[in-house]
Structure 1
Amino acid sequence: MTDLLVDIGNTRLKWRLQQQGAVHRSGAILVRDLNMAQLQAILPEAAGAMYWASVGDDAQGLCVAAWAHEKNIPCHQITTQDCWQDLTNGYQQTQQLGVDRWLAMVAARQHTRNAVCVVDCGSAITLDYVSAQGHHEGSYIIPGARLMSQALARDTAQINITHRALENIHPGTSTAQAVLAGCFQMAHYGVCALVREAQGQGYEILLCGGDGLAIANELGVTYVEQLVLDGMAQLAGLHQL
């Protein structure tokens, strides 16, 4: 059977169509564009079932579920759990742990049985620490460069920032460039320092998220592009990693 996996993040909706573990198609859209027309245009209808998870608002999840209902595709929402196999949630209130981070840890547990630090470099940067026994030991959450620059622009007068990819990370020659470069450097060096600290403590490192590849290449650690969707597939019993 062909299965459709959908991950609704803070910035992007990521999806992939797979059959018996083999990925046939995949894609993404910005969640600000999320509506029925967009879903009609991008999501494949040839799915026997859909599995979805969301850290966005309820309306986004309802939109995805409504699309599946309209296409007569059985729809299964994935949420954060207390435990899965030997992986245990370390949060005092289970559901406060974002489902994307839970799924990334599920996938990471299949990649390695060593102690592992899962680093997701998305809109926010999260680091989740899992012991060799599978216990989630805790987390760090820090704003990504875009969120930091947005906060500075919102709370400081006369800063007008057009968000775009940085051509370099040298000191800026305008206020907007200086903010973007400074926030990028803060996020970049913060992640690198925490990763090196985790390595020194014996953790294996797995990175994911849109800004994670550059850091993974710099530090020589493993990057898995679709770690969250891998975890969703694993949790749903669709394939073995």
Structure 2
Amino acid sequence: MQKNTLFLTTLLVANSAVAADLEIKITNLTHGLHYTPILVAAHSAEHRLFQSGTAATLALQKMAEGGDIDELVGIVASIGGNSLVNPAKGLLAPGAEASGMLVTTGNNRFLSVTAMLLPTNDGFVGLNSWAIPTEKGTYTVMLNAYDAGTEANDELVKEGSGATNVRGIPAAPGGKAGTGGTGVTLEEFNKTVHIHRGSLGDDNLTGGKSDLDNRVHRWLNPVARMTVTVK
């Protein structure tokens, strides 16, 4: 009888550890960058939205080059994951924050985050497989920016293109970008996902190499803060 009681207690503890109610808040820490719709995903240990040192999937490329998270959301659903989709209800401006609730189920004990950084060619704020704490409380995680490795960082803005997988930066929210740049670089030598080296920009708004304003669009890691409250 004692063994059965011990087994039942252990089983109840194990089951309680695989589900959690999470309150998630993400703050944009940059001076002049906007985030496209954010995806926060809870998933099991064997799955990932991205991984440093490996080539980006097509779904990740669409997010990193054009801000389209639809395919990533579909992938999370197909693996039985849980998603908090677009908590900002659009772009997340510099200094702003977005929050929402995420209920995890099953073995979804890890959190990942993605959202494109604008204006960049294929930069995104990312978190890869952060282990959700089992104890109730509030936890803070600093998020870095990654380069998807799928497009050269030419820093040339193609305003109004509005399409995914278009060479060049699809938009520069805030209206601070210039025009007439010749391009910072024409090739991406590291074609795997890696930590972003940042945007160079320049102070020539009608020429130079970059369309980005170095007084507005320069940034360093970390680019975001995520606060997770485990209920």
When the two structures are superposed, what TM-score results if normalisation uses the length of structure 1? Answer: 0.29
Looking at CA atoms only, which structure, 1 or 2, has the larger radius of gyration?
2
Structure (1/2) with the larger helix percentage: 1
Higher relative contact order (CA 8 A, sep 6+): 2
When the two structures are superposed, what TM-score results if normalisation uses the length of structure 2? Answer: 0.29
